[in-house]
Amino acid sequence: SLYILDEPSIGLHSRDTAKLIGVLRSLRELGNTVVVVEHDEEIMEAADWIIDVGPKAGRLGGEIVFEGTLADLPSASESYTAKYLTGEMKIWRYHANEARCSARQGYTASQSMMSQAMWRDLCAGFLLRKE
């Protein structure tokens, strides 16, 4: 049988990810093929084979930028996944309880493009990627 799962870790507590990985491995060990669309690093580490589709999302993606093992992924120069896993790129999180977002310069959203209230809301709820 073929099982295709789209981001099965969404909504799981991090401690439950290991249980999910165990279930996926059990399915594989029973002779099934398991395809998982996932962004969770722990699940990617448990994968036998990775296919990275990109280089970006939507109409800017759709090409296979990498296919192989996790150990070989860092060599994929077009892969954003590789860049995040190796630390070349980072996701910066800002929390609502912070009085302000620091170091506004250099991020994809800047105060000059929006009102102070919009900036505060953006800092409270979204991930910003440093360019």
* pLDDT tens per residue across span 31-78: 999 999 998 889 999 999 999 998 888 888 889 999 999 999 999 988
- Looking at residue 90, its pLDDT comes to 79
Structure tokens at 110: 């800047």
Average pLDDT, rounded, for the chain: 76
Instruction: Residue 122: name the closest of 105, 109, 103, 112 by CA.
Output: 109
Tell if the pTM clears 0.85, that is, is over it: no
For residue 92, the model assigns a pLDDT of 66
User: Does position 100 have pLDDT exceeding 70, yes or no?
Assistant: no
Q: How confident is the model at residue 126 (pLDDT cuts 50, 70, 90)?
A: very low
Cα 10 versus chain centre, distance: 11
- List, in sequence order, every residue forming a beta bridge with 93; answer none if it has no partner: 127
DSSP for the chain reads -EEEEE-TTTT--GGGHHHHHHHHHHHHHTT-EEEEE---HHHHHH-S-EEEEESSSGGG--EEEEEE-GGGGGG-TT-HHHHHHHTSS-EEE--TTSSS----TTBSS-GGGS-HHHHHHHHHH-EEEB-
Q: Alpha-carbon distance 129 to 117, whole Å?
A: 20
Name the residue with tokens 């790129």.
89
Task: Check residue 96 and give its pLDDT.
Answer: 47
Q: What is the pLDDT of residue 86?
A: 87
pLDDT class of 30 with cuts at 50, 70, 90? very high
| 94 CB-side CA count, 13 A | 22
